[in-house]
Structure 1
Amino acid sequence: MLRSLMTPRWLLLHVLFIVATLATGYLAVWQWDRAHDAGGSFQNLGYALQWPLFGAFTIFLWIKLMRMDLAQQRGEDSQEATPEAAPEEEQPAPEAEESQRRRTRPLVPPPAPPVDEDEDPELAEYNRYLAGLNESDTTR
């Protein structure tokens, strides 16, 4: 499993995350030194305290991406083994059931009811304008 984290893609990502973490550390030290110089200010001190947070977030993201990749591979391995073990049982994956339960409304909302000239003349005019634009766009 850990071999998948040694692919060329992941090696490049490891280098990128290491460089980003070292860069945030360097920038924190640089801002700390700037804050203590004669021309330094509280803004430099704030940045000096902020850069380590960015570095911590970089490390957090790195670990999170590695865990997600490993979990995805474990999921693919178990899905490949399941159909061979029980071909007569065609049960949807729990992830698919969960996503279907979550989506209760349609992806595209239903069209709004038409507006009469008596109700709102400005809105009716605007809707006619939009309908004309739509017709001219579909005829092209």
Structure 2
Amino acid sequence: MFRSLLTPRWLLLHVLFIAATIATGCLAVWQWDRAHEAGGSFQNLGYALQWPLFGAFTIFLWVRVMRMDLSREREQEESAPQAEADSAAEEPAEQPVVRRKRPLVPPPAPRVEEDDDPELAAYNRYLAELNESDRRAS
């Protein structure tokens, strides 16, 4: 299971996450030192306190991505024997019906008449002209 975290893709991701965590630590130290210099300010102090939070988020994201990948791999391993058993039975599996609560494309907005909002109607005519010129150019 954990062997999948040692693939070339994951090794590159490990290096990336480690470099990002180290970089945020170095930036925190730099801002802390900068805040205590003569030209330092509270802004530098704020950044010095922010960078460790960014580093902690990087570690959180790293763990989260690893868990997601491992759970996906586990689901594929569990579904593989089930798929073999289903194909051996030679009965077509009934596909679940997916019902959407809302349409993929929203309904069109109601038309705006010149009397309702002349400025919006003029803008809509302008957009229609641009659309028509794009269609002719294509």
Normalising TM by the smaller chain, what interval?
Answer: 0.7 to 0.9
Query: How many Å separate the matches in 1 of 2:121 and 2:39?
Result: 63
Q: CA deviation at 1:118?
A: 6.4
- Counterpart residue type for residue 25 of structure 2: G
Q: Give the TM-score of the pair, scaled to structure 1.
A: 0.76
Q: CA deviation at 1:136?
A: 4.9
Alignment correspondent of 2:51: 51
Query: How many Å separate the matches in 2 of 1:6 and 1:91?
Result: 38
Q: CA deviation at 1:110?
A: 2.8
- Counterpart residue type for residue 71 of structure 1: S
The answer to whether 1:104 aligns with 2:107 is no
- Counterpart residue type for residue 58 of structure 1: T
The answer to whether 1:6 aligns with 2:3 is no
Going from structure 1 to structure 2, the CA distance change for 1:41 and 1:132 (only over 3 Å counts) comes to closer
Q: Once the two structures are aligned, what percentage of the paired residues are identical?
A: 71
- Which segment is superposed worse, 80-89 or 31-40? 80-89
Deviations 1:2-22 (A, max 9, x none): 111101111011001101101
Query: How many Å separate the matches in 2 of 1:41 and 1:125?
Result: 52
Which runs of no fewer than 5 residues in structure 2 stay unpaired? none
Q: CA deviation at 1:36?
A: 1.5
Alignment correspondent of 2:15: 15
